[in-house]
Amino acid sequence: MARITIFYLCGKRKAESFDVVGPICESGDFLAKDRQMPELNEGDYLAVMSAGSYGFSMASNYNCRLKPAEIMVKGNKFYTTRKRDSYLDLVKKDVIPDFLK
Is the entire prediction scored with pTM above 0.95?
Answer: no
The full set of domain ranges for the chain reads 1-54, 66-95
Do residues 84 and 76 lie in contact, with contact meaning Cβ atoms separated by under 8 Å? no
Phi first, then psi: give them for residue 41, nearest 5 degrees.
-125, 160
pLDDT tens, position by position, 35-57: 888 887 787 777 777 766 666 77
Residue 35's pLDDT is 84
CA separation for the pair 14, 54 (Å, rounded):
28
Of 10, 25, 58, 100, which one is the catalytic site residue? Answer: 25
SS3 of the chain: the string is CCCEEECCCCCCCCEEEEEEECCCCCCCCEEEEEEEEECCCCCCCEEECCCHHHCHHHCCCHHHCCCCCEEEEECCEEEEEECCCCHHHHHCCCCCCHHHC
Is it the case that residue 100 has pLDDT exceeding 80?
yes
The answer to whether 25 is a known catalytic residue is yes
